[in-house]
Structure formats: structure tokens, C-alpha cells
Amino acid sequence: MSQTPSRADFDRYMVPNYAPQQVIPVRGEGSRLWDQQGREYIDFAGGIAVNGLGHCHPVLVEALKAQADRLWHLSNVYTNEPALALARALVERTFADKVFLCSSGGEANEAALKLARRWAHDQGGEHKHRIVSFGQAFHGRTFFTVSVGGQPKYAQGFGPVPGGIVHGEYNNLDSVRDLIDDDTCAVMVEPMQGEGGVLPGRQAFLQGLRDLCDAHDALLIFDEVQTGVGRTGSLYAYQQLGVTPDILTSAKALGGGFPVGAMLTTDRVAPAFSLGTHGSTYGGNPLASAVALAAIEHIDTPEVLEGVKRRHELFREHLEAINARHEVFREIRGMGLLIGAEMSEAWRDRAKDILPLAIEEGLMALIAGPNVLRMAPSLVIPEADIAEGMARLERAVSRLVAGQ
Ligand SMILES: *Cc1c(COP(=O)(O)O)cnc(C)c1O
């Protein structure tokens, strides 16, 4: 008989790149989780914007079980029905004409960047390779994506860093005008920065990027790994912002907890990924594709998307009420159910101190950098769970304020 794993096993057996909380959740249902001791938690973290339908949603469980009895994997030597159905669903519901399937956000972004480089290479030659990105941007942890990301600490010590990458200031179009030219192959941007602090991109900024890309024959890449699949109240954020990219990446909530990613693009750009140029063993895996298709079909409905907007208002009202009593936040912002509360000057960089207190009160939340409390709950979180979660959050905040 094997022993029940414990938190100490993490330090014993796993590389030390994470520092997980002491509790180990073992079961989840909807927006509630239970740990090894049977303690219950309300989940405002959603697996970092992954569990778009909460834990063990019957629609996803059913899709996974049905596919598990049918076919698990084939490789890319064959195509398969779930992958084709998912690709078709993504094309029919977005600007895209073509899809590349993979298993994570970093992998989708890696594909997007390689596609942009290859497309520009085929169009304009070797010199058209420059990539414009933004400070505080987050695009994944592969070496190309940390280099394009805007947090230098993630690339430090792994050098030499790939060349031809420059960073502007988010929401500052002038900073991009100084960087973009005819040697630029792509501008990569999150329509709302997630890890960087839950910062919504201004419509005029994003439209300005579109115009600059058009003027310089560069591709606009929207990283919607965190904002996609209903998170902001539309299937993808670009659809409500009215700015259409040439390439869009999706992952996180796409599989609702099953690893899957996708890169979407147009018929103008897709041919640059000609036969043999790129690939991924698990890309288009039938299990992943079946779950993602079920997630998309369930989320991309007026009922779920309207519900996201209604819940956004609820989150905002609760957070403002907490703030009226405790004065810890400077600003509450975000779109849909990706919500950030930036700490006030007096509580600067203390958002991270709320998390362990919240765990003790039975609430899971997130931060986006040390100064922003972040929430990315299930898109269908029951209103009663929002109210109870906010009561627990308020207890955690009042303990922070009381210095307990
Ligand atoms: C999480 C995230 C990624 C990386 O996704 P992984 O699945 O961890 O590789 C990329 N971009 C954004 C905007 C993200 O939030």
C-alpha cells in the first residue's frame, strides 16, 4: 500500500520552482473545493483562469468520459474527428480561417511567434524579423515567450536571449511608434494584461496597434490565453473591442482544466506554416479536443456570456463595499470575470499577504504581481458562492488591516 502523499513530498520530490500553499485540495465541485482534511474552500482562483466552468462540470466530464472509451491518441500521422470538430468550431465562431492545435498557452504563443517570423521571412526576407511586445507582458515560459514577455527576470540567467525583440509601454501608442518599422514582423499584445496586473488595454491603443501593423505590413498577435473563452464576457475579448488580430492564441479555459491550446490565424498568413515547418506530438489530441469542443459550445452562448457580465457587476459591488469599510484598494478593474483590485498606497505590495489569510478563511484567490489581488472564478459561479466568498475575503482583509 502506498502512503497518502503530503505537502512535504513536494519539497522532497519536486524541483523547487514553485512554493505551493500548505493545503492539498483533493476534490472539487463547481466553485467549491475540499482539501485532504475535508476543509471546504470557495474558489475565486479558478486554476488561474483555467476552470471556466468550475470543477468537474457535468458537460466536460461527459465529453471526457465518452472520448476516453473511444480513442485517446493517434499522432499527427492521422487526423481525428474531435480535432476537426474543434478546429471548425473555432473557425466558425471567430475571425480565423485556420487553426493549429497544441497543449498549452506557451506552446500556442511559440507557434504564433514562429509563424509570424516565417511569414515575414517569406514575404520580406531575413531582415523583417523584429517583434514588438510590452513591458509587464506575459506570454509563457518557453525561452522565446519569456524573451518576448515583458518581465526580464523570467529570462535572466538563461541567456543568450533571442534577438530582434523590443518592448514598448502598454497603453502608450507613442512608445510603439518609436519602435515599429518596416523590419517589424509582428506586434504581440494581451488585450488585457493578466499576470502584469489585470490591466485592460484601451480600445484606442489596440486600434492604434492594428493601424501601425497595417502601415508596416506587420502581423498583430493577440495573446488571449487568459482573456479568451468567455472570460471577458465575449468568446474572445477582441470581439467586444472591435479590433481584429491576424493571429490569436488561446489556452487556459479552452480545455476547462484539460491541457489544450490553439493558435488561430487567417488564410493570408497560415500558408507560411507549410508542410514540416512546425508540429507538436499532442497537438489535436482527441481527449483534449473533445473536452475543448464541449467547453466552447457550452460557454459561447448568450446565457453564459450574459452571466459573466452580471457576475462582473456583483464582484465589483462586493469589492467596493469591502473597500468602503477597510480602505485597502486604490482601484478595482478588469473585464468580465478577470478582476483585479490594486492595493492602496498604504497597503502597497501587500496583496500577496491576503492570500494565506484568505486560505485560512476558506477562500482561494490570486495575485497579479505583489500589488494586485486577482480573481478569475468559474464563469458560472453561483451567486450564493460569490456572496459567501466575499464574506470570507472581507474577514481576511480585516485581519490584514488588524495585523493578525
Ligand atoms: C498563462 C498565460 C500564458 C502561458 O500559458 P501556459 O499554458 O502556462 O504555457 C501565456 N499568455 C498569457 C496571457 C497567459 O495568461
The pLDDT tens digits of the residues spanning 85-122 come to: 999 999 999 999 999 999 999 999 999 999 999 999 99
The pLDDT tens digits of the residues spanning 164-203 come to: 999 999 999 999 999 999 999 999 999 999 999 999 999 9
Give me the long-range contacts of 309-312 (CB less than 8 A, separation at least 24): 309/233, 309/336, 311/337, 311/377, 311/379, 311/381, 311/383, 311/386, 312/233, 312/336, 312/337, 312/339
Rounded to the nearest angstrom, the distance between the alpha carbon of 369 and the centre of ligand 1 is 15
Confidence bin at 126 (pLDDT 50/70/90): confident
Residue 2 is predicted with a pLDDT of 76
104 lines ligand 1 (CB under 6 A): yes
Which grid cell sits at 156?
535572466
Q: What does pTM read for this prediction? A: 0.98
Rounded to the nearest angstrom, the distance between the alpha carbon of 225 and the centre of ligand 1 is 6
Residue 16 is predicted with a pLDDT of 98
Residue 125 is predicted with a pLDDT of 85
Which atom belonging to ligand 1 lies closest to the Cα atom of 193? 13
Residue of 128, 134, 205, 223 marked catalytic: 223
| The 3-state secondary structure of 294-354, one letter per residue | HHHHHHCCHHHHHHHHHHHHHHHHHHHHHHHHHCCEEEEEEECCEEEEEECHHHCCCHHHH
Which atom belonging to ligand 1 lies closest to the Cα atom of 224? 13
The pLDDT tens digits of the residues spanning 270-290 come to: 999 999 999 999 999 999 999
138 is catalytic: yes
188 lines ligand 1 (CB under 6 A): no
65 is catalytic: no
Confidence bin at 132 (pLDDT 50/70/90): very high
Question: CA–CA separation, 244 vs 237, rounded Å?
Answer: 10
What proportion of the chain, given as a percentage, has pLDDT over 70? Answer: 100
The pLDDT tens digits of the residues spanning 244-263 come to: 999 999 999 999 999 999 99
Rounded to the nearest angstrom, the distance between the alpha carbon of 400 and the centre of ligand 1 is 30
Query: Counting Cβ atoms within 10 Å, is residue 41 exposed (0-12), middle (13-18) or buried (19+)?
Result: buried
Question: Average pLDDT for residues 352-367, to the nearest whole number?
Answer: 97
Confidence bin at 386 (pLDDT 50/70/90): very high
What proportion of the chain, given as a percentage, has pLDDT over 90? Answer: 97
The pLDDT tens digits of the residues spanning 113-123 come to: 999 999 999 99
Confidence bin at 124 (pLDDT 50/70/90): confident
251 lines ligand 1 (CB under 6 A): yes
The pLDDT tens digits of the residues spanning 216-225 come to: 999 999 999 9
Confidence bin at 1 (pLDDT 50/70/90): low
Rounded mean pLDDT of the chain?
97
pLDDT at 404 over 80: no
385 is catalytic: no
